[in-house]
A and B are shown apart, each in its own frame.
Chain A
Amino acid sequence: MSLRRDIEKVGSTIRPADLTNVKLRYDVKNLQGIGARPYQEDSFTIINGISEEQYDKFGMLLAVCDGMGGMKGGREASMSVVSDLRSFFPQMNRASGIPGQLDDVLIKASDNIYGMLDGLGGSTAVVCIVIYEQLYFSSVGDSFLWLYRDGELIRLNREHNVRTDILFESIQCGDLDPHAADGNDEPAALTSFLGMPEITQIDHFEEPLRLRRGDTLLLCSDGVGGTLTEDEVKDALGYPQSVSGCDLIEKYIREHAKPNQDNYTAILLKCN
């Protein structure tokens, strides 16, 4: 399984005129809340998010990791991924092979968690690298990566869970029923996460996506993506300033007032 469908969807909106090198300015904000949980198991990190000089030179890294609830060490797992990413980024070879390096660091992070927690804890990860106005990403698990472009909301990654597998399988059999996974006991159970003996699925771009003025990216845990409707996400990303976008996301989460609201974490990047 690959992400070709989404790449094509994104790719098709790029016109040759956009390939001229337009320097972008980035506006990054983050949001985190504990929801109705006793602990915060989500972790996030931003490298070179503020200093224009730094991100021009070295690029920017954004990551949201959702530690596995109901398992020992969820927080430890998500923080260990963040730590691995932070030590990786300064040494990354920026000249070539960024997608492979990004996958490798996630595989390494997964092994580290497995070594530390012996399969009793895990984490999702959605990681973006923005360098020279190009976007790279890798994602494992059920965290979200959205791109808002020209008033359209585009999901860039898949959720690695039982629901996706069932839907994929039924589509392959020619069944387009969107409720195919409804009968399953645990449709949200992850089929790929960091901390398992061997990662089974990673989503990434083979080729980077050139960012455009007006693009907005949202990286978030399922506490955001699983609570807000797509229209609400679109609303928040369409907001002209990223800080208000985060406020809007939080407002919607409060309005939904889910009694079992999960930890929620979001990073919003606006390209100006």
Chain B
Amino acid sequence: MAIQECGNGHLYDTDQYASCPYCMSAGNRIDFGASTVGKTVASSSFSQPAAVGATVAPANYRKEQGAGADDIGKTVGVLNKKMKIEPVVGWIICIEGSEKGKDHKIYGRVNSIGRSDKMDICIKGDDTVSRENHARIAYDAKHNTFHLVPGEGANTVYLNDDPVYVPTSLKADDVIEIGSNKYAFIPFCSDKFTWENGYKQAETT
């Protein structure tokens, strides 16, 4: 047995293999610089070609990045395309209920709210919150406005104690009631600031 280390750091037995069996195309070094990696299909000892149980991306990143098999090229937020980090445009902060004191970030797109981990804003430990889409908070970068959008489910969302059945515009310090929690709405993007143009004062000075 003669063990050898190939140029890519794979160990193999030269008595068994003429070249590294782990490098994609035997005999060639992998060109790490290029992004054209050969999709060589190696012989498999298993027959079913299945992708079940593959390492999957986190559910909460799917919407933000368009990652995930189903979402490729789909829901990439407008702001996210321009900036590497998806910028926060506002927050909701729990002022009453089991989550009191906790904040949730609002990103520059439609933000889903519910109990499920798949939701952008995930409210845990409250069974009176719908699993998915109890409500949504939408930020429109074009007009720099926020709206509270009711969900499809049986549960009602309240804005300043009034039930919300149609998309309703949000302003600073509005109180949103989701399940048994009440949240204060704090915008970051406003008349004074947008990610597109920065602070208004900064432009004049």
Contacts and interface: CB of A to CB of B under 8 A. Distances in A.
B2 to A, nearest CB: 10
Contacts of A39: 39, 41
A35 B46 contact: yes
A210 B106 CA distance: 46
B26 to A, nearest CB: 13
Interface of A is mostly: loop
Contacts of A193: 57-58
B42 interface: yes
A80 B53 CA distance: 23
Given A38-B41, A86-B9, A185 B118 contact: yes
Contacts of A47: 9
A262 B53 contact: yes
Given A79-B32, A79-B37, A120-B66, A259 B48 contact: yes
Nearest to A226: B53
B9 A36 contact: no
Contact of A80 (B32, B59, B65): B32
Interface in A188-241: 188-191, 193, 196-198, 222, 226
Interface residues of A, number: 67
Nearest to B7: A86
Contact of A45 (B4, B10, B85, B124): B10
A28 B42 CA distance: 24
A243 B3 CA distance: 11
A260 interface: yes
Nearest to B61: A196
Given A82-B9, A188-B55, A162 B44 contact: no
A122 B69 CA distance: 12
B183 to A, nearest CB: 20
Interface in B85-111: 85-86
Contact of B51 (A70, A120, A121): A70
B35 interface: yes
Contacts of A146: none
Contacts, number: 159
B3 to A, nearest CB: 6
Given A30-B10, A184-B117, A198 B57 contact: no
Interface in B50-77: 50-59, 61, 64-69, 72
A37 B57 contact: no
Contact of A36 (B30, B49, B65, B67): B49
Given A33-B45, A34-B44, A76 B9 contact: no
Interface of B: 3-5, 8-11, 22, 24, 30, 32, 35, 37, 39, 41-42, 44-59, 61, 64-69, 72, 84-86, 116-118, 124
12 contacts: A36-B46, A44-B22, A46-B5, A66-B55, A69-B55, A83-B32, A119-B61, A121-B67, A124-B55, A189-B59, A197-B85, A261-B46
Given A36-B46, A118-B65, A189-B56, 20 more contacts: A30-B10, A32-B22, A39-B41, A49-B5, A50-B3, A69-B54, A72-B72, A75-B37, A79-B32, A82-B9, A119-B61, A119-B66, A121-B67, A161-B58, A162-B59, A186-B59, A188-B56, A189-B57, A196-B61, A196-B65
The 8 closest A-B pairs by CB, nearest first: A69-B54, A45-B9, A119-B65, A83-B32, A36-B46, A70-B69, A260-B52, A260-B50
